[in-house]
Amino acid sequence: MNRTGKDDPLRTPSVLPGGSRYFDLLFRRWSQTMTGPNPNIKHPIPMHARVGFLKGLVTAPNIEIGDFTYYDDPNGPDKFAERCVLHHYPFIGDRLIIGKFCAIAEGARFIMNGANHAMSGFSTYPFNIFGHGWEEGFDPATWSKELRGDTVIGNDVWIGMEAAILPGVAIGHGAIVAAKSVVTHDVPPYAIVAGNAAKVLKMRFDDRTIRRLVAAAWWDWPVEKISRNLNAIRGADISVLEAAV
């Protein structure tokens, strides 16, 4: 009996270990208490420092990263902003926005607008940055035409090893970017892209399922609901996902 004086169903002879009912009850008890890891912890996997939740590691004001998004690097994830977000200068004001539950592999690079050179004139050389009189006559409007805006990565996106994301690109929810891809244009939700320049190889699901997945937006559920429905989230039955409580 438990402290309430009632039989504990996990300790009664009818559901001793080895019976299917025992494991069903065990899973239900376990799932009711699941809350997932703390999304603000820097290194969520003990003895595995190469993986880090970026929300707790990145403090740059123009980088926004959602809960549970991680970076995996054998050199450690702590220098993600310095190593992986390039040419991100505060005076430009562009933002890198990465959603929740994204997986970012070693060496992925986000190239920001500061890397762009003016291309409307005869020369692309940035004379003005070297000073000594070369800054005279510089027309900021000429260069500002090359700005592409914020770079936005959706939720549940997988970015492969050494992929490069160029300025102003938007990558939709659930997309997969293959290793060493160079992403120059927007990527639709649940697309798989590869190559230089990256092209859509295939869609992960049919159009109707993708619309339902985006509408379900499981990544915005409370973490307790996510924890209760991991099988539905990892499965491939959209009706089960939509019925999750």
* Active centre residues (catalytic): 117
Gap between the Cα atoms of 68 and 162, Å rounded: 21
Could you tell me if 83 and 104 are in contact, meaning their C-beta atoms sit under 8 angstroms apart?
no
Residues in a beta bridge with 53: 70
DSSP H helical segments within the chain, as ranges? 20-33, 80-84, 140-144, 207-216, 223-228, 230-234, 238-242
Gap between the Cα atoms of 210 and 147, Å rounded: 31
Query: Residue 242 corresponds to which tokens in the numbers above?
Result: 């939509």
Side chain identity, residue 183: V
